[in-house]
C-alpha cells in the first residue's frame, strides 16, 4: 500500500475562508461565541445507555467517545450511579449520554423515570451475548414499555454486545433468538407499535462505531438532506462511496444511499487515524502549537488494488471520506469543484440549524412555560 499525504490551502484556492458560521469556525474567538450563546445543555438530545451489570455499557462509551483502548476497559469499575457525559465533539454529534447502573430500580420512588424518558432521543439497551440473557430480556421489556408510555417518540436500540467471542453461526442464532423473544414479549403486552432495532456489536472491531452511527443518525433532522447532497456529489464525480465523518469519534453522520460495506467503512476509519497521526508528527508547528486537523487538511491514500481513498475537511469537526477508482481520480479538478459546491451546501444546512437552535434556545430562556423542541424533533416542556 502506498500512501500519499497532501495538504492544500482550501481558503486560497476557493476563497471560502469565511464560508462557515462562527459556531463552526476555528479559533478561540469562535469558541467564546459558542459559550456565550443561549443554548442550555438540556436542549441537546439525550441518549440513555441501559442494561444489566457488566454488560459493557461503560466500555462502549469510553471506547467510542473517549478513545480508550478496548483492553483498558477490562479495568473499569462497575457503574454505581447515573453518569452523565456531555458529548460536544461535533456540530452534529452533540448530545448527552447517560450511563445507568445495572441495578437501577424503576419502582424506587426516588427514580423520576418520567422526567428522564420525556427528554430522551434514544434508549440503548445493552445485552451481553456471552451470558444468559433471560434476565436481560425481562429488564429490556420492563424498561422499553415504561419508557414508551412516557415518550412514544424514543428510538429504542438493542446492542447484542460482546459478540467477538461467538462464531458467525452463533451470532446469527443469538440475534434471531433475542429478536424473537423481545418482540413476543411486546406483542403479549399489546405494544406492537413499539419498534426495536437490533445490532451485533463488539468494542474490539468497528461494529460498535457503525451501530452508534445508525443511532446518532436518527437524531439528526437534517439526515435526508445530507444523504441527498452526498448522492448528488458522488453521481457527478465518479465516486463509488462517500461518508461524512465526525473526526473525533469516527461516527459517520451520513452516507450516500448505496449499501454500507463494513470493509469500506473500516478502511475510511483507518484513513482518519492515519491522517491524524501523520498530522500530529508533521503538521504541527515547531513549538507544538496548532491543530492536527484544520481547514487545510486533505489526504490521498492510493491502495495497491487501484482504489483511492480521498479525505477532505468539511468543518473542524467533520471530514468527507470518499472511495473511488484510480481512473476516476484522474478528474481530480472536477471532484474538487464538486466538493466545493458540496461544502457550500453543507454550510447552508449548518447555518439553518444554528439559526433554529438559537431561536429555540432564546424562546426557552425567555419563556419558561413555553414548549421547546429537542434536536431529534421531540416536543417537550422546558424546565
Please determine, for residue 372, whether its predicted confidence score (pLDDT) is greater than 60: no
- The predicted pLDDT at position 111 comes to 73
Please determine, for residue 5, whether its predicted confidence score (pLDDT) is greater than 60: no
**What is the band of 7 on the pLDDT scale with cuts at 50, 70, 90?**
very low
In this structure, which topology does domain 222-358 adopt according to CATH?
A: Beta-Lactamase (3.30.450)
**What is the band of 24 on the pLDDT scale with cuts at 50, 70, 90?**
very low
* H or E stretch covering 105: none
In Å, how far from its chain's centre is CA 80? 26
Query: What is the rounded average pLDDT of the residues 199-206?
Result: 94
**What is the band of 353 on the pLDDT scale with cuts at 50, 70, 90?**
low
Among the ranges given (74-78, 125-129, 155-159, 338-342), the one the predictor scored with the smallest mean pLDDT = 74-78
**What is the band of 18 on the pLDDT scale with cuts at 50, 70, 90?**
very low
**What is the band of 34 on the pLDDT scale with cuts at 50, 70, 90?**
very low
Residue 371 grid coordinates:
414548549
* % of the chain exceeding 70 in pLDDT: 77
Query: What is the rounded average pLDDT of the residues 1-20?
Result: 37
Q: Closest by alpha carbon to 322, among 262, 255, 274?
A: 255
Q: Where are the alpha helices (DSSP H) in 245-312?
A: 262-282
- The predicted pLDDT at position 355 comes to 66
- Each residue's pLDDT tens digit, 203-238: 999 999 999 999 999 988 889 999 999 999 999 999
What residues are paired with 246 via a beta bridge? 318
- The predicted pLDDT at position 107 comes to 59
Where does CATH 3.40.50.300 sit in the chain? 46-219
Where does CATH 3.30.450.190 sit in the chain? 222-358
Please determine, for residue 22, whether its predicted confidence score (pLDDT) is greater than 80: no
Q: Give the number of other Cβ atoms within 10 Å of residue 297's Cβ.
A: 23
Please determine, for residue 144, whether its predicted confidence score (pLDDT) is greater than 50: yes
Higher per-residue pLDDT: 197 or 116:
197
Q: Give the number of other Cβ atoms within 10 Å of residue 89's Cβ.
A: 16
What's the whole-number average pLDDT of the chain?
80
Q: What is the DSSP string of 303-333?
A: -TTSEEEEEEESSSSEEEEEEEEHHHHTTHH
Query: What is the rounded average pLDDT of the residues 358-375?
Result: 48
- The predicted pLDDT at position 359 comes to 64
d(CA 181, CA 172): 14
Q: Are strands 155-161 and 196-200 parallel, antiparallel or unpaired?
A: parallel
Q: Produce one character per residue of 338-362: b if its CB has 16 or more CB atoms within 10 Å, e if not.
A: bbbebbebbbeebeebbeebeebbe
Q: Closest by alpha carbon to 212, among 179, 263, 248, 184?
A: 248
Residue 323 grid coordinates:
472511495
* % of the chain exceeding 90 in pLDDT: 50
Q: What is the DSSP string of 34-85?
A: HHHS---GGGS-EEEEEESTTSSHHHHHHHHHH---GGGGGGPPPP-S-EEE
What's this model's pTM, rounded to 2 decimal places? 0.78
Q: Are strands 2-4 and 298-302 parallel, antiparallel or unpaired?
A: antiparallel
| 98 three-class SS | strand
- The predicted pLDDT at position 83 comes to 84
Query: What is the rounded average pLDDT of the residues 255-283?
Result: 90
Q: What is the DSSP string of 128-175?
A: ETTS--HHHHHHHHHHHHHHHHH-TTPEEEEEEE-GGGS-HHHHHHHH
Q: Are strands 379-381 and 371-373 parallel, antiparallel or unpaired?
A: antiparallel
Backbone phi, psi, residue 86, to 5°: -90, 110
- The predicted pLDDT at position 295 comes to 80
**What is the band of 43 on the pLDDT scale with cuts at 50, 70, 90?**
low
What sign has the CA pseudo-torsion 21, 358, 221, 42? positive
**What is the band of 272 on the pLDDT scale with cuts at 50, 70, 90?**
very high
From the candidate CATH numbers 3.40.50.300, 3.40.1710.10, 3.40.50.2300, 3.40.1160.10, the one assigned to the domain spanning 46-219:
3.40.50.300
Residue with grid cell 462557515, as numbered in its chain: 20
Q: Closest by alpha carbon to 352, among 153, 155, 91?
A: 91
Tell me if 244 sits within 8 A of 254, measured CB to CB. yes
- Each residue's pLDDT tens digit, 50-92: 999 889 899 999 999 888 889 888 888 877 788 888 876 544 5
Q: Give the number of other Cβ atoms within 10 Å of residue 222's Cβ.
A: 17
306: left (phi over 0), alpha (psi -120 to 50) or beta: left
Amino acid at each position: 500500500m502506498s500512501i500519499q499525504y497532501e495538504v492544500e490551502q482550501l481558503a486560497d484556492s476557493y476563497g471560502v475562508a469565511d464560508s462557515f458560521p462562527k459556531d463552526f469556525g476555528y479559533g478561540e474567538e469562535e469558541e467564546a461565541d459558542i459559550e456565550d450563546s443561549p443554548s442550555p445543555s438540556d436542549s441537546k438530545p439525550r441518549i440513555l445507555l441501559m442494561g444489566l451489570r457488566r454488560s459493557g455499557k461503560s466500555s462502549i462509551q469510553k471506547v467510542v467517545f473517549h478513545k480508550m483502548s478496548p483492553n483498558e476497559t477490562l479495568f473499569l469499575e462497575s457503574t454505581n450511579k447515573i453518569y452523565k457525559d456531555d458529548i460536544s465533539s461535533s456540530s452534529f454529534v452533540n448530545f448527552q449520554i447517560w450511563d445507568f447502573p445495572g441495578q437501577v430500580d424503576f419502582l424506587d420512588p426516588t427514580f423520576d423515570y418520567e422526567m428522564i424518558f420525556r427528554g430522551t432521543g434514544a434508549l440503548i439497551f445493552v445485552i451481553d451475548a456471552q451470558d444468559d440473557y433471560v434476565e436481560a430480556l425481562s429488564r429490556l421489556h420492563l424498561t422499553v414499555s415504561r419508557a414508551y408510555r412516557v415518550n412514544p417518540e424514543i428510538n429504542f436500540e438493542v446492542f447484542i454486545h460482546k459478540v467477538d467471542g461467538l462464531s458467525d453461526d452463533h451470532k446469527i442464532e443469538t440475534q434471531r433468538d433475542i429478536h424473537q423473544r423481545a418482540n413476543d414479549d411486546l406483542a403479549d403486552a399489546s405494544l406492537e407499535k413499539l419498534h426495536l432495532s437490533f445490532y451485533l456489536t463488539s468494542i474490539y472491531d468497528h461494529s460498535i462505531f457503525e451501530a452508534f452511527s445508525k443511532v446518532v443518525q436518527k437524531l439528526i433532522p437534517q439526515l435526508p438532506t445530507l444523504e441527498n447532497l452526498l448522492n448528488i456529489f458522488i453521481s457527478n464525480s465518479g465516486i463509488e462511496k462517500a461518508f461524512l465523518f465526525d473526526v473525533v469519534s469516527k461516527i459517520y453522520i451520513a452516507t450516500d444511499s448505496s449499501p454500507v460495506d463494513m470493509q469500506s467503512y473500516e478502511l475510511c476509519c483507518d484513513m482518519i487515524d492515519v491522517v491524524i497521526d501523520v498530522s500530529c508528527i508533521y503538521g504541527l508547528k515547531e513549538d507544538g502549537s496548532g491543530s492536527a486537523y484544520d481547514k487545510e487538511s486533505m489526504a490521498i491514500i492510493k491502495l495497491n488494488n487501484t482504489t483511492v481513498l480521498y479525505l477532505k475537511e468539511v468543518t473542524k469537526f467533520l471530514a468527507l471520506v470518499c472511495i473511488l477508482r484510480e481512473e476516476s481520480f484522474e478528474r481530480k479538478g472536477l471532484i474538487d469543484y464538486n466538493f466545493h459546491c458540496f461544502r457550500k451546501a453543507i454550510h447552508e444546512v449548518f447555518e439553518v440549524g444554528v439559526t433554529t437552535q438559537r431561536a429555540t434556545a432564546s424562546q426557552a430562556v425567555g419563556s419558561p412555560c413555553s414548549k421547546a423542541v429537542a434536536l431529534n424533533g421531540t416536543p417537550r416542556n422546558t424546565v
